[in-house]
Amino acid sequence: MGAHPTLALAGVSKSFGAVRALRDVSIELYAGEAHALAGENGAGKSTLVKTLAGVHRPDQGVILLDGEPVVLTGPADAQQAGVAVIYQEPTLFPDLSVAENIFMGRQPRRSLGRIDRAAMRAQTRELFGRLGVDLDPGRPTRGLSIADQQLVEIAKALSRDARVLIMDEPTAALSGAETARLFSVVEALREHGCAILFISHRLDEIFALCQRVTTLRDGQWIASEPVAGLTHDDLVRRMVGRDLGALYPKQDAAVGDVALKVERLTREGVFTDVSFEVRRGEIVALAGLVGAGRSEVARAIFGIDRWDAGTVTVAGRELPPGSPTAAMGAGLALVPEDRRQQGLVMEMSIERNIGLTGLRSLRRGATISRRAERDRAADWAARLRLKFARLGDGVGVLSGGNQQKVVLAKWLATEPSVLVVDEPTRGIDVGTKAEVHRLLSELAGQGIAVLMISSDLPEVLGMADRVLVMREGRLTAEIPRAEATEESVMHAATRRAA
Amino acid sequence: MTRVLRWDVLVGALLVAVFAAGSLAVPGFATTGNLSFALGDLGEIALIALAMTLLVVAAEVDLSVASVLGLSSALVGALWDAGLAIETIIPLVVLVGAVCGLVNGLLVTRLGLPSLAVTIGTLALYRGLAYVVLGDKAVAQFPPAYTALAVGDVPGTPVPYPVALFALLAVVTGVVLHATGFGRALYAIGAQEQAAFFAGIRVKRIKLLLFVLSGTVAAFAGVVFTLRYGSARADNGLGVELAVIAAVLLGGVDFDGGKGTLGGVIAGVLLIGLLRNLLMLGDVSTEIQSIVTGLLLIVSVLTPRLVSLVRPALKGTP
């Protein structure tokens, strides 16, 4: 280990608008060391990676290369400095060969600028030899598994003499054997003196691969420490431990009949055998990691995607698969994950967005009553305390929190009996977040059944009467409010095999 | 955009300007006879433009309309030759047009293919079928009562029957597009299809319906065209799709969907009609007319983009 870390961040802060993604974060990556970056969804891991990769420039603090402050003006600059990033889903040119992808833009030349294919292949073979990988340099990358594509990316990084290799959730889409092969490659690189930054939600992988770990929470640095001596529970506590406070006002509501019943719901390759019910007056949280299949279950229940097996019953009526119209008719509402693509028509006005779910009920004769449309919008805007100038303004001018209120208004105006909300407070300010929580609590009090998908653990624990946990497409735990803790939920969400 | 600077209003103003300039500069232009002829000459384009407007607002397009028109014309000729009554032929041919539209719609909605590609394919396919049906011969001698309907004016007015029909259908289309839930759904689909689907709008069913409508209207326009010229030919209406799309885009409907008004499209149709008529009166060759249509198409797509690029720079805001 050299005196200086190969690459380091010192006191880095980065904000996007009002959102402070990183606050005074420091990390040091040493040659010959695999360093893990741990944290919940939204803790700032991606921002940190993008800062190291030259995509974002820090608002405050410095990047140090071999102990010297540097300014990375862009990804190309970072590459020049020897920093390579391997993303979860590599972006290769599918119709070019493996070798051509590796040497894209830096092909070995013969006279008259012709590309020396033989040399390119030979060098590729030599790179794969160093990595201990068996891939044909001449084949096109189309059709390669994600694991093989990552190896091509790693070979590319190696061919550029990368000294720092950043891997952003490389194992998320890999099988066990593929992960093992990746680990042996990473091990080889580390022994050659590479500094590795490794990100994974699977804590056992961190323990298996890394020597040090830095934990982030809410954009803040929590700890940097050797992995040896830490337990699984220690790490989880660093990732999630924080005071809950009284931010989450879920009041006890009278629990009524079963409003939503999901039985053995399966969509092949996405989720399997999911069964649960939500009663009137209940808020049930669906927790788990990103990619565990939570949003996919919500989409299927609402009819956006079809399911292959199982049943969904709303208030005693069985829903046909793949029909949002039928789901709405049965009293279901879905506030989707992606506000800008799925929740709102950004080019339309506030009132028209709110009216979009009521095109039938706003009818007077054959045409839509603009007055009824405006009244509906004005009514819900007032109830949700929407901040706006004119109802005829485009929703695009509103803040994220107010846009979310428009989505909620649009769905509450359908007077649903079951409300499914997917990440209802993601990317909105703390004040509006509390308002949304109060609203969900009130709705439950009025006898609506609420199913809430959230990656925000304090929100899950503060709001939910019961917590369902999904991992890799399956429901792995159902935890009553009294027993739900950050540790128990995270444990159910991350544990690899029972 | 501010009220005054709205594209459709601009096109309306341009229409007035072209009309005024034409009246002053071109003798024989501002006569009742010529204007009545110009309107009549525009009938098929105008009818098809109504259905096309609905499609483009929903971010789809149907390039096969002129070929459906040609197929419809060829069928009218072949069936008339075979001795069928014109009263039987017309509904039959319109039904074939609906099926042509259904094929387009199914390819787009069931297989998820882009309508631009699908209808370029059926553009060639339906025109080919037209030649299969009628070869390169022409059929004429239709019943005078029907040809009179196609060229004649509504009694007491200089308005040709097809144009009167267009006016009626334009009112209906305008109400549907701007005042009904169906119209709202079209704008939502065009602007943000996913959000429309998430709001419970039956996106695929609506799109299918639009394609069927487009085929039906194009086939009916084929009947009008055939009777108006008194001649059924497989190559009737060649290139009409370009004039239709030029009119729709010129009218301010965004090719990416979600934007535009029917008023703008009507102004666009009339503007194209006036320009064609002026060029014809000026003895300008059909090649030049085609060049003008092409330029109009490009200008109408380009201008709003340029405006949206330049406007923020002028205001100094992002």
Q: What is the 3-state secondary structure (H, E, C) of chain A?
A: CCCCCCEEEEEEEEEECCEEEEEEEEEEECCCCEEEEECCCCCCHHHHHHHHCCCCCCCEEEEEECCEEECCCCHHHHHHCCEEEECCCCCCCCCCEHHHHHCCCCCCECHHHCECHHHHHHHHHHHHHHHCCCCCCCCECCCCCHHHHHHHHHHHHHHCCCCEEEEECCCCCCCHHHHHHHHHHHHHHHHCCCEEEEECCCHHHHHHHCCEEEEEECCEEEEEEECCCCCHHHHHHHHHCCCCCCCCCCCCCCCCCEEEEEEEEEECCCEEEEEEEEECCCEEEEEECCCCCHHHHHHHHHCCCCCCEEEEEECCEECCCCCHHHHHHCCEEEECCCHHHHHCCCCCEHHHHHHHHHCCCCEECCEECHHHHHHHHHHHHHHCCCCCCCCCCEHHHCCHHHHHHHHHHHHHCCCCCEEEEECCCCCCCHHHHHHHHHHHHHHHHCCCEEEEECCCHHHHHHHCCEEEEEECCEEEEEEEHHHCCHHHHHHHHHCCCC
Q: Where in chain A is the domain with CATH 3.40.50.300?
A: 7-92+144-240, 258-494
**Residue A430, Cβ density class (10 Å: 0-12 exposed, 13-18 middle, ≥19 buried):** exposed
Which distant-in-sequence residues (6+ apart) come within 8 Å of B228 by Cβ? B40, B43, B147, B150, B151, B162
What contacts A322, CB < 8 A, 6 or more positions away?
A: A303, A305, A306
Chain B hits for A332, CB-CB cut-off 8 Å, are none
Whether B198 sits inside 8 A of A334 (CB atoms) is yes
Rounded alpha-carbon distances, angstroms, from residue A54 to A45, A50, A82, A162, B202: 14, 6, 11, 14, 44
Amino acid sitting at position A268: E
**Mean per-residue pLDDT of chain A:** 88
Instruction: Give, in order, the Cα–Cα distances in Å from A273 to each of A173, A262, A305.
Output: 21, 10, 16
Contact predicate A61/A12, CB 8 Å: yes
Whether residue A347 and residue B200 make contact (CB cut-off 8 A), yes or no, is: no
The predicted complex's ipTM stands at 0.85
Confidence of residue A249 (pLDDT cuts 50, 70, 90): low
Mark which residues 242-301 of B lie under 8 Å from A by CB.
Answer: 258-259
Check residue B314 and give its pLDDT: 57
| Amino acid at site A99 | A
Neighbours of A251 (CB within 10 A): 9
User: What confidence tens digit (pLDDT) does each residue in A42-51 have?
Assistant: 688 888 999 9
Nearest residue of A to residue B179 by CA position? A367
Residues A1-16, mean pLDDT to the nearest whole number: 84
Contacts of A302 in chain B (CB under 8 A): 198
For residue A397, the model assigns a pLDDT of 82
* Residue in A347, A359, A410 closest to B181 by CB: A359
Whether residue A336 and residue B200 make contact (CB cut-off 8 A), yes or no, is no
**What's residue B313's pLDDT?**
58
Question: Does residue A431 or residue A413 have the better pLDDT?
Answer: A413
**pLDDT value of position B93:** 97
- A248 pLDDT band, cuts 50/70/90, is low
Distance from CA of B6 to the nearest CA of A (A): 16
Q: Which residues of A touch B (CB under 8 A)?
A: 302, 304, 324-325, 327-328, 334, 336, 338, 341-348, 352, 355-357, 359-360, 362-363, 366-368, 410
Residue type, A442: E
Start-end of H helices in B143-202:
144-151, 161-179, 181-191, 193-198
- The amino acid at B27: P
Tell me if A347 and B191 make a contact (CB, 8 A cut-off).
Answer: yes
Q: Which residue is listed with tokens 């483009």?
A: B56
C-alpha span between A53 and A78 (Å, rounded): 6
**For residue A245, is pLDDT > 80?**
no
Residue A177: is its pLDDT beyond 80?
Answer: no
The pLDDT of residue A247 is above 80:
no
Cα separation of A277 and A451, whole Å?
Answer: 9
Confidence grade of residue A32 (pLDDT, cut at 50, 70, 90): very high
Please state the rounded mean pLDDT for residues A173-183: 79
State how far the Cα of B260 lies from the Cα of A357, in Å rounded to an integer: 22
Span of A131-140, A212-221, A241-250, A380-389 with lowest mean pLDDT: A241-250
pLDDT band (50, 70, 90) for residue A430: low
Q: Domain B7-12+32-306 classified CATH 1.10.3470?
A: yes
Percent with pLDDT over 90 in chain A: 51
Is residue A297 predicted with pLDDT exceeding 80? yes
**Of A448 and B314, which is predicted with more confidence?**
A448
Four-way CATH pick for A7-92+144-240: 3.65.10.10, 3.30.950.10, 3.30.60.50, 3.40.50.300: 3.40.50.300
Please say whether the structural domain A258-494 has been given the CATH code 3.40.190.10.
Answer: no
What residue of A is the nearest CA neighbor of B182?
A359
Can you list the residues of chain B whose pLDDT is less than 70?
1-5, 311-318
The answer to whether B93 touches B76, Cβ cutoff 8 Å, is yes
